[in-house]
A and B are shown apart, each in its own frame.
Chain A
Amino acid sequence: MFPFSFEWIWDMSHMVFHGGLWYALGIIGLGMTFCILKSVVDTLQGKGGDSHH
């Protein structure tokens, strides 16, 4: 649910519940976006291959 949904009410419950959800989803989304973009850049720079961690 987003603040522009008709069911939305600006109260503590909605803000805490959905704020927590978006916060977690935001971290996951940003983290994965960073990893994928950096991997694309690294690959284009010729990094990676048969080496191990």
Chain B
Amino acid sequence: MDYALIPEGRKRCPLWQFVLFIAVAGVVLLWGVYAMFLCWIKGLNQTNMNNAYGFALWIWADLAVIALGGGAFFSGFLKYIVGKDELKNLINYAVIIGFICYSSALLILAIDIGQPLRGWFIFWHANVHSMLTEVAFCLSVYFAVLTIEFIPLILENRQLDKVPFFHNLSHNMHHIMAVFAATGAFLSFFHQGSLGGVAGVLFGRPFGFREGVLIWPWTFFLFTWSAAACGPCFTILVTKITEAVTRKKLVKDNVIELLAKISGWMLLTYIIAKIIDTWYWAVVTAPEAGFTMMDFYTNNPLYGLWILFLEIVLGGVIPALILITPAGRKNKALLLTAAVLAVIGVCVNRWVMVLQVLAVPVMPFESWFMYSPSWQEVATTILPIAYGAILIAIAHRYLPIFPQEPELNPVEQQAG
């Protein structure tokens, strides 16, 4: 039964190993599900959120996974709109990673809103003056797009593909995938941007506030830019982890190097823009509001200039310089280091724009607000990682995700 579902020409680990992996990840998943039900049944008193932290660990995780899932929309944009055909060898995996990231983001939001049964209110009673409404619209619809992009891959399963209707449906969906990919890129541009816009329009919080163009603060563009730059790095990182776990080469180096090169140039241009933005904020925006830059990095137990260095230099400049250099991309250790640093950089950026913004005192008589998450918040944040590992394991075992896998790992046809 198991063998009959495995794609032809691919070798997979023994069933017991696969089941053991799913069981271990399943325990972590169940821990998160238990915490999730605690939050739903007992309420948000299970969290350490308070009047200072209406946004907390979940929203950081949400913004981080959405940025990391940006590899799906940007790879789709490069393949279907720009015409980088080599990326067809990685696009399936980028879609699955994006699907996991966005479904996780929606799951976290379903816990965070406290009353998920009223989740549809944001569509029916929409506040059209809120950037978060636009985020909710685009996030939900883009998840639908990712699901549509995932369906043909599921239908390519060895057994499902034998059903003529499924075969035809998969074939026809592939034919118009460019339309869905273009829609996805359009939606992603706006929701990635609006997530940044939320912090940028907070004129009462000078740490987050930025000037901009028309209704969009600069953070709007920086968030989209950073997601397009770092999302592909996350795709590369997960691909490399998958290759290490399966002990197989799954994608040719030229494909990875192409994506790494594009990602590197995106990251370099992004980080230059980010440095200019930070400099302008430090010397113009913050002083105009009556602050010096160091007011935001002193007199508190956690946030110092180290976080700025971690985000911009370690998580931005260094990976960008590695990725734009041919020697850096070809060196496996350096490539992996750059991907890890870029992922850390974008995650730190989201942390700063969500949690440090809320930590900074608003009134002169207030102190810094510090926060540590409850175990329920931690468990529900780890939940998506376990869920992602399980979905990737199942998808890798039963679906032909990597078109180059049979060529890179030739196996003799087994009897069965």
Using a CB–CB cutoff of 8 Å, the interface residues on chain A facing chain B are: 1, 5, 7, 13-14, 16-18, 20-21, 24-25, 27-28, 31-32, 34-36, 38-40, 42-43, 46-53
Contact = CB atoms under 8 A, between A and B. Distances in A.
Interface in B173-199: 173-174, 176, 179-180, 183, 186-187, 190
* The 6 nearest A-B residue pairs measured at CB: A48-B164, A13-B128, A48-B167, A39-B168, A39-B169, A42-B168
A42 B148 CA distance: 20
A28 B148 contact: yes
B172 interface: yes
A17 B128 contact: yes
Nearest to A26: B183
The interface residues of chain A, by DSSP majority, are classed as helix
Given A17-B128, A17-B133, A42 B172 contact: yes
Interface of B: 123-126, 128-129, 133-134, 137-138, 141, 144-145, 148, 156, 161-162, 164-165, 167-174, 176, 179-180, 183, 186-187, 190
Contacts of A21: 123, 137, 141
B176 A34 contact: yes
A1 B127 CA distance: 10
B137 A20 contact: yes
Contact of B124 (A5, A40, A48, A51): A5
A36 B128 CA distance: 34
Contacts of B164: 42-43, 46-49
A7 B126 CA distance: 9
A39 B148 contact: no
B169 A17 contact: no
Contacts of B145: 28
Contact of B162 (A20, A24, A34, A49): A49
A17 B126 contact: yes
Contacts of A27: 179-180, 183
Given A7-B125, A25-B141, A17 B171 contact: no
A51 B186 CA distance: 34
B172 A35 contact: yes
Contacts of B179: 27, 31
A47 B162 contact: no
Nearest to A27: B183
A32 B145 CA distance: 10
Contacts of B167: 48-49, 51
A32 to B, nearest CB: 7
A48 B125 contact: no
Contacts of A43: 164-165, 168
Nearest to A13: B128
Contacts of A40: 165
Given A24-B187, A31-B179, A31-B180, A39 B124 contact: no
Residue picked from B168, B169, B187, most chain A C-beta under 10 Å: B168
9 contacts: A17-B134, A27-B180, A28-B183, A35-B169, A35-B172, A38-B168, A47-B164, A48-B171, A53-B170
Contacts of B190: 20
B27 to A, nearest CB: 37
Nearest to B156: A53
Of B125, B133, B172, most A-chain CB atoms within 10 Å? B172
Contact of A24 (B165, B176, B183): B183
Given A28-B145, A53-B156, 20 more contacts: A14-B128, A17-B126, A17-B128, A17-B134, A18-B126, A20-B134, A20-B137, A21-B141, A24-B186, A28-B144, A28-B148, A28-B183, A31-B148, A35-B169, A39-B171, A43-B164, A46-B164, A48-B167, A48-B168, A49-B162
